[in-house]
Structure 1
Amino acid sequence: MPLFLLLMGGGLFFLVYSGFVPFRYYGKALEVLGRKDDTGAGQISSFEALTSAIASTVGMGSISGVAIALSMGGAGAIFWMWVSAVVGMATKFFEGTLAVMYKGRDSSGEVQGGTMYMITQGLGRRWKPMAVFFSLFGLVGTLSLMQANQLAEAVTTIFIEEDSTMFRVLVGIVICVLVSVVILGGIVRISKVASRLVPAMVSAYFLLVGYIIITNLSVVPAVFAQIFSEAFTFSAGIGGLAGSAMIIGARRAIFVNEAGVGTASMMHGASKNSEPIREGLVAMIGPSIDSGLVCTLTALAILIGGYNATDVKGIQIALQSFQNSIPILGHYLLMVMVVVFAFSTMFTYSYYGAKCTNFLFGARAIKYYNYFYLLMLIVGAVMPLRVMIGIVDSAFALMAIPSMVTLLLLAPKVKKAAKVYFGR
């Protein structure tokens, strides 16, 4: 509940305080996305920053995260994922702007951006303990435990149909080797892969789910009716609100779009964009794609195909639903999407963790972190799902506290810059 109030309430504040920028300037955001600006300090372009940030959010959370939300909170959880997408766009606008507005230098003299630098450069050095707090939990939250776990779950379900720890370990080792090829090349290689991978995978997923919708068009109105009718249902008992569709939908959406968590600011902080507000506009596109478009596609496919969940099963629910809608091929086609989505996130998350390591221990420590990150992919592959969800949600919650406090304190700076930019 505190996290819900902080992120959803804070996002609502940003939406109103910005003058409803996501609604008024979404077209402008799409326009400036393709504008090339290499005059600022950074390592990648704004487009590469956005696609890399989306690569981290349009991942397993967009498939297994939606399935988990449906199994825990029912169809109504999807409505609150939509609400989170809207307020998340406003939050990302402030994140992207401040990430470019306040940059710092690491131990090697390289210009860096992200929540930790927004804190030290924007709020002052006396706030550094809060930056350290953010970075410590950032190391945990960005270990890709969810991605490795659910990818191993999917492969196990498809190929051997029964759980096997040894098989999961083997899958984890394969994941580790494949991810190492990209992440050991640093942010430039990660961004190049993401900028090509993201548009292709979102388009392919749209076509796959589009086929399911078109072939089951008669039940689509009933699916939307179910989402809206269950949006305000609460579980019985004292903990009813905490277990409601509202809280569960918001929790999973936060994991998907990461608005206010602070991860996206690390990627947008690497942009060469010299105009902070323009980077903010680019950043706000993200939630409309991940927790808006892609999560809706997943929810529709699962609700159309039907699912049977008595416990938190994640990716198994999605595989079952796709198989129901597309006999024989359904779960194999989704498996391809799962592999691509999971790897795209693991590539980007490694950069986030490396950035936190850089801030805490210096640039030389990054290579050691990368090895640790790769090892944890194997650990994540065999970790129980419920335990993994608890670890990741807790880490994201603890990252969100310093991130949102920083955004709220520095919001007037964004407001002032936006007035000048839009006036110009």
Structure 2
Amino acid sequence: MEVIESFFNGFSAFMWGKPLVALIVLGGLFFMTYSRFQPYKYIPHAFDILRGKYDRFGGHGDISHFQALSTALSGTLGMGNVTGVALAITIGGPGAIFWMWVTAIVGMATKFFTASLAVMYRGYDSKGHLQGGPMYVIREGLGRKWMPLAILFAIAGLVGTLPVFQINQLVQVIRDMVAIPAGLTTADNHFLFDLVAGVLLAGLVLAVISGRIQRIADVTSRLVPLMVVLYFLMTAVLLVLYAGNIPDMLLLIVSDAFSGKAAAGGAIGGVILIGVQRGAFSNEAGIGTESLAHGAAKTDYPTREGLVAMLGPVIDTLIVCTCTALAILVTGVWQGEANGISLTGSAFETAFPGLGGYLLTVMVFFLAISTVLSFWYYGSKCTGFLIGAEREHYYSWFYAALVVIGAIVSLKTVVGLIDGMYAVMAIPTMTSTLLLAPRVMERARIYFHNLDQEEAAAQVD
């Protein structure tokens, strides 16, 4: 098992190495310059789309623009926003946060292109239902000769979105911060508690996923705004308490980004690499999973969904991840021995003694559950593509079983495989998006031209 664990961890380290970082970042920079920054100018229009101004026009698809973004965000707003940010600071120093910001800004362009393609090249599954996602973009946009690339994405997506890590971490947080202090279980003998928690979580997940994408979208469209507001309020109170430290910490983030003094080894390249890795893992720009959600949007205008998707990195990385980073930095806990989720927990416990752990547990519960729900949808779509949509229902029971297993078993052996396969998804996603980028801009220029004409006419009236 140690050999297998070492192999999978090596696989993960290789996949999240410099070549993938270059593909994601340089690809995003290409999309920014190729589009001449046009999509960024229409961000206000994206908010109009999001609040339902154009929903009355309908179109093909299953869910609204707002529900599509909520479903996509529920997949990105997860443990990466709590644990990932802490790891970025622990390994790469405060400067890694700056490069996470850069990745988010660049990732907005990537999201525009991938989400636009998810609507442009939707395809029918074996049951005749219209679906979106990178595998359909490849099949419909590039042709059957590219099918191996589509199959690669589906296989990587099936493995990379398994719920074991999120559930394992969630149960650990509930156990360590609530159950053990309350005397419900002990640190040495917690199997029964973990099993009961796993069964309850599996039941909750099954209850939601039985309604498929419509129910998931309904739940996430309520859950995601609640999570963002709750987390923002928590960190806002914390930052008010430590307001005097904020300017120095912001300056430290920027200065350390170019000096690397706080990073292991003091290498600037290491700071950039860690920041980009955690940023990509956080907002998923270029990975492709979010395209599965945006491809279900009820619209016949690909550019609209592309603009909506651009808001994802803003909310996920520029707002939520920044809240976590500042909470860790201004409280000073980043200079201690804690790491990972314990570091974030220490920050809140420092600001709210006796209450911080419980607040973080509530947030982690919402973050983990929302991610698990979206990951089921992504995995089921990949399953349907590989073995037929009529067999998709088997995946739900398999998924629920993994929720229980993830709660009771230490899964260090497979975490490397899951992380590595998550990274593999970027290869077919970015390859197909780069090849099809001219078609995205062709449609986008027409849409932006017509929109400008409509706005000019409205001003005259």
TM-score scaled by length of structure 2: 0.87
Once residues 252 and 312 of structure 1 are traced to their aligned partners in structure 2, the CA distance between those partners, rounded to angstroms, is 18
The equivalent residue for 2:233 is 207
Contact 2:118–2:295 under 8 Å retained in 1 = yes
What residue in structure 2 maps to residue 345 of structure 1? 371
- Which residue in the other structure is 1:91 paired with? 110
Contact 2:68–2:293 (8 Å) recurs in 1: yes
Whether the 8 Å contact between 1:11 and 1:91 is mirrored in structure 2 is yes
Distance 1:28 1:115, change over 3 A: same
Q: 1:216 to 1:22 in 2, by over 3 A?
A: farther
- 1:398–1:163 distance in 2 versus 1, CA, 3 Å: farther
- Shift of the alpha carbon at 1:171? 2.8
The residue that corresponds to 2:403 in the other structure is 377
Task: Encode CA deviations 1:135-177: one digit per residue, 9 max, x unaligned.
Answer: 0010111112332122122112213263656143443333222
Identify the match of residue 297 of structure 1 among 315, 318, 323: 323
| Alpha-carbon distance in structure 1 between the residues aligned to 2:169 and 2:159 | 17
Q: Residue 304 of structure 2 corresponds to which residue in structure 1? A: 278
Deviation at 1:377, TM superposition (A): 2.1
Equivalence for 2:85: 66
Q: How big is the shift at 1:314?
A: 2.3
Paired with 1:381 and 1:311, the residues of 2 have a C-alpha distance of 26
Match 2:49 to one of 29, 32, 39: 32
Which runs of no fewer than 5 residues in structure 2 stay unpaired? 1-17, 182-186, 451-461
| 3-state SS, counterpart of residue 55 of structure 2 | coil
Partner amino acid, structure 2, of 1:24:
K
Q: Counterpart in 2 of 1:156?
A: 175
The percent of aligned pairs where both chains have the same amino acid is 47
TM-aligned CA deviation for residue 299 of structure 1: 0.8
Deviation at 1:196, TM superposition (A): 1.1
Instruction: Decide whether aligned partners of structure 1 residues 394 and 79 sit closer, same or farther in structure 2, where only a CA change above 3 A counts.
Output: same
The answer as to whether partners of 1:37 and 1:274 remain within 8 angstroms in 2 is no
- Higher Cα Rg: structure 1 or 2? 2
Structure-1 separation of matches of 2:171 and 2:335: 19
Q: 1:332 to 1:4 in 2, by over 3 A?
A: same
For the 8 Å contact 1:86–1:287, the answer to whether it is kept is yes
Does the 8 A contact of 1:50 with 1:286 survive in 2? Answer: yes
Aligned to 2:148: 129
1:53 to 72, 78, 86: 72
Alpha-carbon distance change, 382 to 400 in structure 1, aligned in 2, over 3 angstroms: farther
Q: Secondary structure at the match of 1:62?
A: helix
Q: Give the structure 2 partner of residue 145 of structure 1.
A: 164
Pairwise CA distance, 1:189: 0.4
User: Structure 1's 307 and 22: CA in aligned 2 closer, same or farther, altered over 3 A?
Assistant: farther
Aligned to 1:178: 204
Q: Distance in 2 between matches of 1:98 and 1:305?
A: 43
Q: What is the alpha-carbon distance in structure 1 between the residues aligned to residue 77 and residue 257 of structure 2? A: 23
- The equivalent residue for 1:396 is 422
CA distances 1:238-270 after superposition (whole Å, capped 9, x unpaired): xx677x221112112212111111101111111
Comparing 189-198 and 70-79, the one that deviates more: 70-79
- Aligned residue for 1:63, secondary structure, equals helix
Contact 1:56 1:345 in 2 (8 A): yes
Is the Cα–Cα contact under 8 Å of residues 205 and 373 in structure 2 kept in the other structure? yes
Q: Which amino acid in structure 2 is aligned with residue 187 of structure 1?
A: I
Q: Distance in 2 between matches of 1:309 and 1:350?
A: 37
Q: State yes or no: 1:10 paired with 2:27.
A: yes
Alignment coverage as a number of residue pairs: 421
* 2:265 is aligned with 1:236: yes
Distance in 2, matches of 1:83 and 1:215, equals 28
For structure 1, the 5+ residue unaligned runs are: none
Give the residue type in structure 2 aligned to 1:114: G
